[in-house]
Structure 1
Amino acid sequence: MNINSFINHMSLGAALEPQQIKVLCNEAKTQRFASVYVNEIYVSLASKELEGSSVKVGTVIGYPFGTSSTKVKIFEVKNAIENGASEISLILNLGMLKSRNIEYIKNELKEIKTTVGKNSLKVVIELEYLTLEEQRNLIDLCLDLKIENIELLKRKISKEDILQIQGLTKNKLNLNLVGNVKDLSTLQRYVDLGIQRFNTTSGLKLSKENNDKFWN
């Protein structure tokens, strides 16, 4: 199995320097990963480094807490797309969701989806903080608004977590996973469960492990 097409090569550290982003992009081109994920400030640099390659550029809006206003998030999205991003991951305001201010969340999703246009929008679902009812409310909004992708975020995500989400989505949404995957066997288990993309800092390790297994 060519696992590289499942990998979003991610680096979102607070102290990253431009040269590190260039290295990240070169690694992604060499390994033919699906995309790189960088902080919004580095989208322009990543786009230039990846020009002419098949590797896409993604960024996370509202990072890390999702508590910036909708207007700020819209500005971030516009700026990211203008600078070359084609994959947008959105962190929502969990406080609004948990206080049952569904209208706020719905309006933010609608406005961001409109701003993203034909580019890919992925809504981050932080399983660590959300009850089953809150997960259902958020997923129902994504289905109603025809948002096609969600990203599952949890320190230790289980098979049961994924099956539960699949039940809530009725298998109508593409599932992506943030973090968690550090070895090939784990990635393969998640692929078997229907995960389609992995935002991970372990892309090189996973690719090497896969190549070693193939050639041995």
Structure 2
Amino acid sequence: MEEIKNFNKYIDHTILRPEATKQEIIQVCQEAIKYNFATCFLPPCYLKLAKEILKDSQVKLGAPISFPFGYQDTEIKVLETKKAIEEGAEEIDMVINISYLKSKEYDKLLEDISRVVEAAKPYGVKVIVETCYLTREEKIKILEIAIKAGCEYIKTSTGFGPKGAELEDIRLFKELAKDKIKIKASGGIRTYLQAKNLIIAGASRIGTSAGVKIMNEYLNLIGREK
């Protein structure tokens, strides 16, 4: 089977571990530049630093909002989003309030997401839904709400839950979305084969902290050195 073309541009190179050091943040930014990944996602407290490092590259800077549990009040999420953009973020990954979804408070959930989408303009929002906690019916419902709210992507996972991206969830979202929203797979993606299968299933982005390892596997397959 043919390998994925321009694979590096599927990767959101990520470092969101709570114990990550400043030097590790710098290293991840440098890796993102080296491999020309799509985006570099890191803790918001380092956005200014990362923006300076990435300024002459094609790598976009991304920020997580209400990460990793999504419990913050909507007003706080809006402030987080605006602050992140002020400090250089060009992509926003926001965690939904899972309790609203589980409690069937769909109007509150829609407002919560919509307010962040509005605050992020002109940049797009990826809404993190943490699929490992959701039933099939809840996955279908949050997809519907994410589309209605104007999200650019629906994203499977934070990487902090008991499970990450699953092929069946990507296929479900792809089938039902009908190209009204893109899909980001994240959580537990450690190999090129995993990433490739998720892309074939319908993912347009891959969120991973193993971007360098995965990219080197890809380059070895196509016979290139980096």
TM-score, normalised with respect to structure 2:
0.90
Q: Distance in 2 between matches of 1:123 and 1:61?
A: 9
Residues 1:192 and 1:25: Cα distance change in structure 2 (over 3 Å): same
The percent of aligned pairs where both chains have the same amino acid is 29
Q: Distance in 1 between matches of 2:164 and 2:40?
A: 23
Letter in 2 for 1:118: P
Query: 1:49: which partner in 2?
Result: 53
Structure 1 residue 156, shift from structure 2 partner:
5.1
The alignment status of 1:71 with 2:72, answered yes or no, reads no
Q: Distance in 1 between matches of 2:59 and 2:16?
A: 17
Letter in 2 for 1:98: K
Q: How many residues align?
A: 216
Tell me which of 93, 99, 109 is aligned to 2:97.
Answer: 93
Query: 2:26: which partner in 1?
Result: 22
Letter in 2 for 1:8: D
Aligned alpha-carbon RMSD (Å): 1.5
Query: 1:215: which partner in 2?
Result: 223
* Map 1:135-214 → 2, pairs under 5 A: 135-153=139-157, 155=163, 157-214=165-222
More strand by share: 1
Residues 1:147 and 1:156: Cα distance change in structure 2 (over 3 Å): closer
Q: Distance in 2 between matches of 1:160 and 1:40?
A: 31
Q: Distance in 2 between matches of 1:179 and 1:144?
A: 25
- Do the aligned residues in 1 keep the contact of 2:29 with 2:54 (CA within 8 Å)? yes
Secondary structure class of the residue paired with 2:18: coil
Structure 1 runs of 4+ off > 6 angstroms? none
Unaligned runs of 5+ residues in structure 2 are: none
Unaligned runs of 5+ residues in structure 1 are: none
Query: 2:62: which partner in 1?
Result: 58
Q: Distance in 2 between matches of 1:146 and 1:207?
A: 31
The alignment status of 1:113 with 2:117, answered yes or no, reads yes
Secondary structure class of the residue paired with 1:150: strand
Letter in 1 for 2:74: T
1:115-163 alpha-carbon deviations (Å, 9 max, x no partner): 0011020011211111222222211112223322111127254432222
